[in-house]
Each structure stands twice: as C-alpha cells, then as structure tokens.
Structure 1
Amino acid sequence: MKNYTKLISISVIILTAILLSGCAGDGEQDINQLTFGYQPSTHQIAYMTAAEKGWWEDNLEPHGIETINENEFPTGSPEMQAMLAGDIDVAYVGAAPFVSAVDKGLNAKIVAGVQIQGSSLVLRPEFAENYEEPQDLEGLKIATFPPGTIQDTILRNWLKDNGLDPDKDVDIVGMGPGDAISAISAERVDGVFLPHPAPAIIESENNGQSVVDSGEMWNNHACCVLVVSDELINNYPEVTREIVKTHVEATEYNKNHMDDAAQIYANYTGWDVSQVKKSLNEWDGQWIADPKTIVDPTVNYAQVQYELGYIDKDLKRSDMFNTSFYESINTS
C-alpha cells in the first residue's frame, strides 16, 4: 500500500511538471518557425529590410526560431483570410482589413504601428486637368483595393463626407495594385486610389496624375500595422517582444537610410529604383512604430466600417491592440 501511494505521488509530481512546462512564457523551445505575411508596398519596407539584412533570423534564433517563412499578398483581405485560417503568424497589413478580420473572429492584436497615410488618388490626364473638387468624380470609374481595405474605406468615407454616394455616384471597382495599374494604363478605368509606389509609377509612365493624397482625405490616418496572433502573444511573449523590437530597428534604419530602403524595396519587387525613390520623395506617408499613434484612427476605422455595414461588431481598443511589448522596449 505504501509503495502504491508513493507511486501515485510520483505520478502526480511528473504530471504537474509536464503541465507547468507548457505554461505561457515557458514553451518557447516548442516553436521553431514563424510565417510572416506582407504586401509589395513601400508602406511595408520595414519587413523587407529586416528580411534582407537577416535580422528576423538573427534576432529570433536565440528564442528557438530556426526558420522564417514569408507569404506575399496583393491586398489585405486575402492576407487576413490566411491569418484566420492559421497560415500566418505575423502580418504586415492595413488596419482596416485587420478590423474586418477581428469582426470575423481573428484572434490577434496590433502590437506596433507600421505607417500612416501614403496613398493617392490618380486620374487619367484628361480628367486630372479638370479636377477641382470631389464632385468632379461623379460618374467616373475608380479602381481601388477591395471592400474592407484601407483604401476602400478611406475613399468611400471621403466621398460620403463630400456629399457623394459611393455606391451610386462613383463606380468603385476592387482590384489589386498590378491589375489597377494595368487598368488605368489601358484606359479601362478613369482613375485609381492606391498606396505608393503605384501612384508614382503611373505618373512616371504618363498614364495619370495625382490629384488628392490620402492625408487630405483623412489626416494622419492609420494605414499599415504589425499584427501578431494571440497564440504567440500569450504563449511566446519573448518571441513577440523580439518581433516588435526587430520591427522598430528596421523602421528606424529605413528612416535614416532612405536610399538603401528604396534599393531594398526595388530588390524585393523588381521595380526600378528611380521610381521607388520618386515615390518616397513625393508621398505623404510616414513610417512609424509606436502603436499609440494609430489607436484612435484604427478605432475610427472600426466605427466607419460598422456604419458602412462591413462589420457586425462595434469593436473597441481592447479588441484590437496590445501595446505592452512596444512599451516594454521603450522603457527598458
């Protein structure tokens, strides 16, 4: 009987040790790879810089990460669908498609800012020369990213603010950046509202002219954000912290080395570096990392999407943000 009791006690101790070893924060050796999602926009050069310089691998290896995988997406909607399916762990993505995904049940949080503003409305030359106010867009066909994206949300909200019905007065068609550039070049659309570098590329090819920057439509609006799954946040906080720290490092590097950032982007995408530099010199965007900068605009996006009928839930800050990792880096 004594031996039986002793055996039970030992079993309880072993079981307890196993359970404790899997608790949040103690299981980092159990994860050895991460998958990042991103889009081919100058808004998200921070991801590309950290990738090209090997910072993701170097900085995350001490935390047990042996492999970094990456998936490129044309816009934020399919990227968030992939995250909902569990195919990516970390996303560089627009705030608006993230809001839509949270409404659909995505368990993830914004842990850092990436960029604000940085998109432009470009019209074909014959329309651009006569453009004076938003009402001049009535009856035109404008290509932008699909419903639920940053560009779609901003464009529709701006049209409404200026007395236009985005469903009746303007023909808005959803496209990825490559298709939209081809469409305006082939005169299949009258204009596009796209993130950079697309506007600069269209202008350099004499297929259009920028008439309104997104900052004029919605001043200091949030655009791209860094999103991490709740699984990483809750179970691997040191990995998450290193992701944020590396993002901050890449953001600061790009801000201080604009020409190198342009070359990295050109290497990644195949765009001519002179066009990339033109874009970065002309856009109204700004690379950022502090998530507090974009809390209010993102909450506003959620409200606008709720009013547009894109989402069913009235989302709050706590549903979308975890700023603790950025704060820990800047107070350590």
Structure 2
Amino acid sequence: MNKRTTAKVSLVAIGAIAISVTAIIAGCIEVEEPKLTTITLGYQPSTHHVAAMVAVEKGWLKEDLARLGIEYVDIKVFPTGPPMMTAMMAGELDIAYVGLAPPVAALYRGLDARVVAAVNNEGSALVIRPELVEEYEKVGLPAVLAGKRVATFPPGSIQHTVLTRWLREHGMCPVADMDMKAMGPAPARTAIAADEVDAVFLPSPSPAMLEIAGDGVIVLWSEDIMPGYICCGIVASGRMIREHPEIVKQIIRTHINATRWVEENPAEAAEIFVKTVGGDVATVKRSFEIWDGSFIVDPHLGVESALIYADVIFEINREEFEAHGIEPLTKEDIFDTSFYDAIRIG
C-alpha cells in the first residue's frame, strides 16, 4: 500500500470515528424544542367555546404559556369550523376550538393535525319561524322541513353533518327535499328574522337568542337528533404536536382548568362571553339554563362520535374518495390522546 492510499484510508477512518463520536454525543444530549414565541389560537362565537374565552380573559393562557417562552397568543375568531381547518391547512392556525366534524372532513383532504382534547357535547337546536308552528304541530319532524329553506353551518361542519345524518335516517335528502343554505350564526339569525329562511340548526346561544327575540321557536335539541354526541374538541396542528409537545400539553391543562371554572361560574362565564363576543348577558345566561349540552375535556369520549362523522362524510363523498383510493378514517387518524393521558396520569 503506497503513502497516498494509506493517507486516504486514514482520513476515512478518522471521518468514521468523528461521525461515531458525534452520534454518541448527540444521543446523550436532550434535543430542545424549536424556539417558538407566538402561537395562533382560534375559536367560534359560540358558548361551546366559552372556556377558551375565559382562559384568555382571565389571563391564564398568557401566563401559563409565558413559562414556555410564548410571548404572544394571537386569537382569531371564525364563524364556523370549515374555514378554521382551511386556515390550519395553510399554516395560519396552530390550535383550534372546533367541532369534531371539520377536522375529520379536512383530514380526508390532507390536514396534518389531531384532536387532543374534548370541549363539549351536544348544544345545538333546530329553530323554526313562529309562523310554521301550526304546521309543525300537524305534520311533525322532519316533515315540516320538506320544501323549506333551512340554514345551518357549511358542509363539513358539525351542525351540517349531524343534521344530514338525522334527515337521512328519516328518509329525507337535504339536497332534494329542501333548500339547505350554508350560513354562519349571525347571518342565519338575521335570515330567519327576515323571513329569508324557514328554519335554522345552530349552536348555542343562537337558539335562545332567536326564541327570546321572538324570531323563532325551538322545536328540537340536538340530544334528540344524535343522543350523546360529542360536538367540539381542541385540534392541534401536526407541527405543534411534533415540535412543541409541552406547549400542547399546557394548553390542554389550561383548558381543563378553564372548563372547571365555567362549570362552577356559569353566570360570570356568560358575562365574559358577552364581553368577548357581544350580545345580552341575560340571554346568554338563559342559554346556559336551557341548552342540552355540557362541558367535557376527555378526548376519549369523542372517539365514537368522530368515527360516525367520518362515516357520514365518507358516504357524502364516497365516489370522489374511492376514486382516489381514500378509505374511512380510523381513531388513530383523528386523535392523539397521549397529551391528555399524560396529564391525567400525572
């Protein structure tokens, strides 16, 4: 072996040793989470998400996350769930308080995120114009909706998914048998008050607001449409889950504390809701008194409901999904319960 060959072998050997030593050292050093100073959190103007509003108003979210280096929490309010998932898919939203159906619908289309906590069950109602009450008493539900204009949240939302499932179970097609209109809560309330739609299916506090204003009559709560279903949860982006797990875990802790506070202080929670979103305190307090929902935090409770939503959304889009080889989502596709489980065990 000549000197040049010997030199090459020596350099290779030295390089190999250097790589090995680097690997050993790296294996002994705990890898830190990438630096993050701002997160974006979204919710909707519904009492379903009042725990988020309380956490912000009380300063708990800011204080809890500051210990992890977060200097600013950017709050964004969305009218419904589908645009929240559009924002998350675009990298514009890190954490979302949202119905479970929108992330399910978005996961079918490539959303990188998981449900990490639960927020509430049920909590929506079908409201009809007062002029339709006599017809409703004669023909009942859902027959009174035949040929009518019905407003609810857009396709892919929890309200649209739950209502569609119920109509189909009763032999009605939401496309052929009625004029289903996609609207957010404020436009839908305005539309039924102006006789531009005949019925709405909306989350609280909208049903109470319409009834108190004399613009509608509550004829069916969501517990009778899909008993026991879990409505909303907290969704974390895949980036937050992979790169900032401690922040995700703290957000869930803060959510748990805020939820407990809401349950113990509904009157003050109503005041915070009005301060945040607007409206009348007495009406929001009344909404808390009459709604069929309750506040929860355990994501395991949402699994059965989410899988039903996954099936409903798959059936609605079966032809398209099957053409692209897309199969129904599983629990693992939708949930990451590890954060909540760690908090519960700890």
- TM bracket, shorter-chain basis: over 0.9
CA offsets per residue over residues 104-155 of structure 1, 9 Å max, x none? 1111110100011000000000112331221121111100001111111111
What RMSD over aligned residues (CA atoms) do the two structures have, in Å?
2.3
Deviation for aligned residue 1:68: 0.6
The alignment status of 1:82 with 2:96, answered yes or no, reads no
Matching residue of 2:208 = 200
- Structure 1 distance, partners of 2:88, 2:197, is 31
Corresponding residue to 2:37 among 26, 32, 37: 32
Q: TM-score if structure 1 supplies the norm length?
A: 0.93
The alignment status of 1:170 with 2:178, answered yes or no, reads yes
Corresponding residue to 1:209 among 205, 210, 217: 217
Corresponding residue to 2:135 among 130, 141, 155: 130
Matching residue of 1:329 = 343
* Greater Rg by CA: 2
Matching residue of 1:57 = 62
Deviation for aligned residue 1:262: 0.6
SS state of the match for residue 114, structure 2? Answer: strand
The alignment status of 1:271 with 2:279, answered yes or no, reads yes
Q: Please tell me the residue identity of whatever aligns with 1:84.
A: M
SS state of the match for residue 171, structure 2? Answer: coil
Q: Which blocks of at least 5 consecutive residues in structure 2 are unaligned?
A: 1-6, 322-326
Determine what percentage of the aligned residue pairs are the same residue: 40
- Structure 1 distance, partners of 2:12, 2:166, is 75
- Structure 1 distance, partners of 2:26, 2:193, is 62
Matching residue of 2:259 = 251
Preserved CA contact (<8 Å) 1:144 1:180: yes
Runs of 4 or more, structure 1, over 3 Å off, are 1-23
Preserved CA contact (<8 Å) 1:128 1:210: no
Matching residue of 1:112 = 117
Matching residue of 2:153 = 145
CA offsets per residue over residues 190-216 of structure 1, 9 Å max, x none? 011111111111111101100011110
The alignment status of 1:296 with 2:304, answered yes or no, reads yes
Q: Which moved more, 1:7-16 or 1:47-56?
A: 7-16
Matching residue of 1:97 = 102
Q: Please tell me the residue identity of whatever aligns with 2:116.
A: V
CA offsets per residue over residues 51-70 of structure 1, 9 Å max, x none? 00111111111111111111
Q: Please tell me the residue identity of whatever aligns with 1:194.
A: L
Matching residue of 2:239 = 231
Deviation for aligned residue 1:13: 6.0
Preserved CA contact (<8 Å) 1:128 1:208: no
- Structure 2 distance, partners of 1:129, 1:328, is 53
Deviation for aligned residue 1:308: 1.5
Q: Which moved more, 1:55-64 or 1:7-16?
A: 7-16
Structure 1 residues 68 and 107, CA gap change in structure 2 (3 angstroms): same
CA offsets per residue over residues 77-122 of structure 1, 9 Å max, x none? 1110000000011011111111011111111110100011000000
Deviation for aligned residue 1:43: 0.4
Q: TM-score if structure 2 supplies the norm length?
A: 0.89
- Structure 2 distance, partners of 1:282, 1:113, is 21
CA offsets per residue over residues 244-267 of structure 1, 9 Å max, x none? 111111111101111111111011
Preserved CA contact (<8 Å) 1:135 1:162: no
